[in-house]
Structure 1
Amino acid sequence: MNARATEPTIAEKASDAKLRPVSAAAPAPAAAAPEPVANAAAPRKNGTRRVVLMAGVPLLLLAAGGWFWLTGGRYEETDNAYVQQSKVSLSADVSGRVADVLVQDNQMVAAGDTLFSIDPQPFQIALSQANAALASARVNVEQLKVSFGTAQAQLQSSQERLEIEQTAFDRKAALVTQGVTADSSLDDSKLTLQQAQTAVDLARQQVAAATAALAGNPEIVTDEHPAVLAALAAVEQAQRNLSKTTVTAPAAGIVSNVSSLNVGQFISAGSMIASLVETDNTWIQANFKETQLANLKVGQPVEIKVDAFGEAMHGTLESFGAATGSEFALIPAQNATGNWVKVVQRLPVRIALSDGSNAMLKTGMSAMVTVDTGRSTLDKLQGK
């Protein structure tokens, strides 16, 4: 019998399958059919999630950035800020040798405390000389008053003599007119009358000179005379110089740079000897960029964080500087050049501390300053 050389048909394969017995251990081929459907659905879900993430995350970031931008812009801050305290240069008003030094570097002093003293002996001698000159001036004024009285008495005497000589001359002139005596007899009387008139004129000049010596007022009080006033001023100057031999602290604070001051050292008037930092007068100087100044106003609250301390302090914006820092520079920048480059300028702003506990602050410390302007970007866009 010839073998089949052709492939079996589909119907034959199906009939053969029906005739074969089913084995219990054989796996069921129909159980694996649903898996391709599940594997086909998984890539579709992952693609949808990826699209949502790629579109949603940028939108979320954009919304968050817009919210921060609209609600921001309320605070202006700068780290170009420093603690400031008044610094006084200590010097002596008079020249002399140092007699005693009563302070040391970094010592706390109160207003009026003695810092050092200068040898007072030369100034005590000068005061004694000024008092002696004052007494001499008063004596001279009294002598001028006596001279005025003498000049007045001499004038009165000269006037009385002139009257007598005038009467004698008139009597002799009458006799000459009557022809009793000759004209030559009047010569002696006329000469005597002229001498008496000259004496009166001289006496009047002496009275005028004595009046001028008394400042034009014969009744002037002695201590109101110019010479006495000058002597009184000299005494006051000498007393002041003597009092300035003791140098005291003009305010409360910390003394520094006194290590070079020694007993016996000669110091000149006005030369800087030491420095005093006034701890009772403390403020913050913040240098804001000129682009930050539009929203700053006097009275706005300020938060200050000094680098040396962790706690935040509070203050108030007190005033704005008169000009930028470059305008007060020793050598101002020359901008009228061909290679000019624009640089953002900074304006010093003074901030008053509202906290009472600022004793720990030292001048020159760095700080971070944040000013609350009270208006966010959204408020500015709405015109509030």
Structure 2
Amino acid sequence: MNARVTEPKASEATVVNIPRSEKGQPPKAEAPSGQASPPPAAAAEPKPGRKGGARRLVLMVAVPLVLVVCGGYFWLTGGRYEGTDNAYVQQAKVSLSADIAGRITAVNVAENQHVTAGTVLFTIDPEPYRIALDQANAALASARVNVAQLKVAYGTAQAQLKAAEATLAIRQQAFDRKNALVQQGVNSDATLDDVKLALEQAQSAVDAANQQVAAAIAALGGDPAIETDRHPAVLAAQAQVEQAERNLSKTTVVAPADGIIANVSSLNVGQFVAAGTTIASLVETDGTWVEANFKETQLADMKPGMPAEVEIDAYPGKLEGTVESIGAATGSEFSLIPAQNATGNWVKVVQRIPVRIKLPASPEGQLLKTGMSANVTVDTGRSTLDKLLNR
């Protein structure tokens, strides 16, 4: 519905004065009569001056510059230390086995027991080896008797040779006399047959005696004056005795070095062990080192003799060590099946080379166990700046 606007009457009209507005400003409305005028507007905040802008500019330039300078300093002075957490404590591990076969009669150690070099670990029944030693001694005595008999046989052969030579000389004289009579025509040629036959038999006896003497000399090793204990048969018998004595001594198995016995819990009295079978292990505690597997990119400045710092995960503190040697090849080269790539589908992987860190003998070193994890840091003595200057 449209509203109709009617003009006001002359008596009802009022005059309203509108003030002139400033240039660029909207006119201010006057408050209606009967109402209080609003409070004046708060003063406008002052605009930031040039001093605040300069400070901001200095900060924007100085902070990145300081960061760049500090980062460059640390980068140039760094690179001296090469570290890796791929490191493990190593100790020599000896596999213990019996050199002879036999039945165990006594076990003198327990699992994880600390032993010293020469400590008896277990014993094998010695009776069969004692009997074998007696047999070897009897064989040695028999060999000496045989050598004595050979010397007697040599003397007999010499005596027979002398007798045969004497007989030959007599037969030769008889033949010469008969032959002289035949040449003079006193006797006939038939009378030479008997003496000639006897001479030939005597010569054959001498030849046989010479062979017997040569055989006796050969039986004595080519030297009739050889000592009995230098004869080959006696030497062989002596070797058998020494072997039997060695086997008898091996019935007692002792620790080859100081260390801790492991894997001995399955060893029991009455158990039969074969020669060469591993039946226990000995972890040597005297020599301890750390094998640190460094990346191949970390070995450019690393050399034996450099100082190293070792941190063991199991114990607090640090140990001082020395780089003893650098591996001859990467760890993958000593694996059972080295990685080979003949197809061309190859992704380059940074290889690691074992570095042996020698640890000095110390009370802390006695607490280390083989296989413990470690962190190793090697001081190469050359920072990044030194490498750039000496390039």
TM-score between the two structures when normalised by the length of structure 2? 0.88
Task: Report the alpha carbon displacement of residue 177 of structure 1 after superposing the two structures with TM.
Answer: 1.2
Query: Where do residues 37-52 of structure 1 align in structure 2 (5 Å cutoff)?
Result: 39-40=46-47, 42=48, 44-52=50-58
Alignment-mate amino acid for residue 228 of structure 2: T
Measure, in 1, the Cα distance between the counterparts of 2:370 and 2:178: 102
1:94-173 aligned at under 5 Å gives the runs 94-173=100-179
Judge which range, 213-222 or 57-66, deviates more: 57-66
Matched, 1:194 2:200: yes
CA distance in 1 between partners of 2:172 and 2:349 (Å): 100
SS in 2 for 1:227: helix
Distance 1:161 1:44, change over 3 A: same
The whole-number CA distance in structure 1 between the counterparts of 2:90 and 2:17 is: 110
Query: Among 368, 372, 380, which residue is 2:379 paired with?
Result: 372
Q: Which residue of 1 aligns with 2:5?
A: none
Question: Between the two proteins, what is the percent identity of the paired residues?
Answer: 68
Quick one: structure 1 residues 46 and 229, their matched pair in 2 at CA, closer, same or farther if it must change by over 3 Å? same
Aligned twin of 2:345: 339
CA distance in 1, matches of 2:309, 2:99: 43
Query: What are the superposed Cα offsets for residues 215-257 of structure 1, whole Å, 9 maximum, x if unpaired?
Result: 1110000000000000000000000000000000000000000
Structure 1: distance between partners of 2:388 and 2:211: 93
Name the structure 2 match of 1:69.
75
Structure 1 residues 5 and 203, CA gap change in structure 2 (3 angstroms): closer
Distance in 2 separating the partners of 1:46 and 1:247: 89
Q: Quote the residue 1:300 is aligned against.
A: 306
- Alpha-carbon spacing, 1:379–1:177, altered in 2? closer, same or farther (3 Å): same
Shift of 1:6: 9.6
**1:241 matched to 2:258:** no
Q: Secondary structure at the match of 2:284?
A: strand
- Residue 48 (structure 1) shift: 3.3
Q: 1:199 to 1:63 in 2, by over 3 A?
A: same
Deviates more, 1:313-322 or 1:331-340: 331-340
Deviation by residue 1:74-106 (Cα, 9 ceiling, x = unmatched): 100000000000000000000000010000110
Segment of structure 1 superposing worse, 216-225 or 348-357:
348-357
Q: Which runs of 5+ in 1 are unaligned?
A: 10-28
Q: Which position in structure 1 is the counterpart of 2:370?
A: 363
- Of stretches 173-182 and 203-212 in structure 1, the one that deviates more from structure 2 is 173-182
Q: Is the 8 A contact 1:313 1:355 kept in 2?
A: no
Q: CA deviation at 1:381?
A: 2.1
- Is the CA contact 1:315–1:355 (under 8 Å) kept in the aligned structure 2? no
**SS of structure 1 residue aligned to 2:390:** coil
Provide the aligned length of Structure 1 versus Structure 2: 357
Change (3 A) 1:242 1:6: closer
Q: Which amino acid aligns with 1:173?
A: N
C-alpha distance in structure 2 between counterparts of 1:382 and 1:338, whole Å: 39
Tell me if structure 2 keeps the 8 A contact 1:83–1:283.
yes
What are the equivalent positions in structure 2 for 1:201-350 lying under 5 Å apart?
Answer: 201-350=207-356
| Unpaired runs of at least 5, structure 2 | 1-14, 21-39
Using the alignment, how far apart are the partners of 1:50 and 1:5 within structure 2? Answer: 53
1:318 to 1:136, Cα distance in 2 relative to 1, 3 A: same
**Structure-1 separation of matches of 2:326 and 2:342:** 27
Structure 1 position 7, deviation (Å):
9.5
Q: How far does the alpha carbon of each residue in 1:198-218 deviate from its partner, in whole angstroms, 9 at most, with x for none?
A: 111101110011110001110
Q: Which amino acid aligns with 2:306?
A: Q
Supply the distance in 2 between the matched residues of 1:225 and 1:215 (Cα, whole angstroms). 7
Change beyond 3 A, Cα 1:8–1:228: closer
1:102-159 C-alpha deviation (Å, 9 max, x unpaired): 0011000000110001000000000000000000000000000000000000000000
Matched residue SS, 2:300: helix
Moved more, 371-380 or 222-231: 371-380
CA–CA distance in structure 2, aligned partners of residues 126 and 91 of structure 1: 22
Asked whether the equivalents of residues 314 and 355 of structure 1 are also in contact (C-alpha less than 8 Å), the reply is no
Amino acid at match of 1:317: V
Q: Quote the RMSD (CA, aligned, Å).
A: 2.0
User: What residue in structure 2 maps to residue 19 of structure 1?
Assistant: none
- Pick closer, same or farther for the CA change 1:78–1:186 going to 2, 3 Å: same
